Homo-oligomer: A and B are copies of this chain.
Amino acid sequence: MTSQESQPPQQNRGRSLDAHLNRYAARTAGMTASEIRALFAVASRPEVVSLAGGMPNLSALPMDSLATEVARLVAEDGQVAFQYGSAQGVPELREQITEVMALEGIRAHPDDVVVTVGSQMALDTVTRIFCDPGDVVLAEAPSYVGALGSFSAYQAEVVHVAMDDDGLIPDALRAALEAVHSAGKRVKFLYTIPNFHNPAGVTMAVERRAEVLEICARHNVLVLEDNPYGLLGFDDQTYPALRSMDEENVVYLGSFSKTFAPGLRVGWALAPHAVREKLVLASESATLCPPTFNQLLVSRYLATHDWQGQVKTYREVYSERRDAMLSALEQYMPPGCTWTKPDGGFYVWLTVPEGVDTKAMLPRAVTQRVAYVSGTAFHGDGFGSRQMRLSFCYPTPERIHEGVRRLGTVLRDELELLATFGNVAQRPQLGSESPSPDTA
């Protein structure tokens, strides 16, 4: 035994709840459970109408024919399907992915596609290769909560850029770039969801797209285009992808989670060639390779099923639910509320009257058996407390109607309290009326 060993340990392991507390990396301090995650337990109770989750509605998937397909995959190609594959992904699937992207005007080579474990992994990997701590990422206000999580995990700073009903506002983008540059900070990329935005439900106007690309190119800022919902336009309309207008300065993210099935976790990134090489290396470090089995199943599904017919079915499913939500909102929302009218995707963005705090109100809503996600979850800067995201993807139209009715009641109660007592959110206790659900 050396003399050093007989001395007390250099650091005190302590008796705190987490004995490993002083061992974590700096980035780990920023890892906290998202508001959406904390909601999962509550939202899954059958008596609660959840307008909170983003789970696709899979009731229309042809399970019998998928069962046959997957059995055939194992029997015919099991030795390949169950084996390691390349970090970049199965070549035949990457070829098919270029055909999927062609529907939105993208011309791409399979060599520039990287298959990932859902597009979340693509988001995470892009952030990993580009962002040093303190780098700035521009994102719409509001923005996708999973993206904000990845940006935070790599200690990037998010600067939000305002939207209106036509999506990201070019003048706001210019102003944000100027402000960040003036502060001496480095912007790594603009993260944008141009189509049927999560959570805002709006779509970037076509005439704005070239302008946004031009502003970013001029400021030497990469564009990270996240497009999981692009084929889910209710008027059967698709919009030209930003990537279709700029091959050099856009990294494009796609996913089969909304057009096929999220439980397979198959997404992808399309990147300029040099960036693609870095993405593959980062992906290899993250998972060695995406699951071969899942990639071959998606490939067979695309080849043997009428997958575009299935997407059309999904559009009809979601369109009917969007209609149910919009008509219920008209019927039940108190005066002073406004909301977006999505032409596709999963989400409506609701703004409530001044004084109501959607995050503080959530426990009371859950008591009334309706759940949503507070707008604060979609901001990296604490804003969004007058907003909430309502998702119409999963429940039946009848449940959506009932959920919005309950929400209307909660809001009217809240406004009444507010008129009587002032800002309810500031009151620490309301006695026995104050519930303590899991989400509080």
Contacts and interface: CB of A to CB of B under 8 A. Distances in A.
Contacts of A149: 284-285
**Copies of this chain, count:** 2
Given A67-B74, A264-B291, A25 B83 contact: no
Helix, strand, loop or mixed for chain A's interface? helix
Contacts of A265: 117, 287-291
Interface stretch (A217-225, A304-312, A318-326, A361-369): A217-225
A67 B61 contact: no
B128 A25 contact: yes
Contacts of A31: 129, 278, 281-282, 285
A64 interface: yes
A240 to B, nearest CB: 23
A292 B222 CA distance: 33
Interface stretch (A5-13, A97-105, A338-346): A5-13
A263 interface: yes
Interface stretch (A14-22, A161-169, A372-380): A14-22
Interface stretch (A130-138, A194-202, A402-410): A130-138
Nearest to A214: B5
Given A284-B149, A285-B153, A82 B261 contact: yes
Contact of A40 (B86, B248, B292): B86
Given A11-B220, A78-B63, A291-B294, A274 B21 contact: yes
Interface of A: 2, 4-5, 9-11, 13, 17-21, 23-28, 31-34, 37, 40, 55-56, 58-59, 61, 63-64, 66-68, 70-72, 74-75, 78-87, 117-118, 120-121, 124, 128-132, 135, 146, 149-150, 152-154, 174, 177-178, 181, 188, 215, 218-220, 222, 248, 257, 261-265, 272, 274-275, 278, 281-282, 284-294
20 contacts: A2-B178, A10-B220, A21-B274, A25-B135, A25-B154, A26-B132, A28-B129, A34-B284, A58-B82, A66-B74, A67-B72, A82-B262, A83-B261, A84-B257, A120-B285, A146-B285, A261-B293, A264-B293, A265-B287, A286-B286
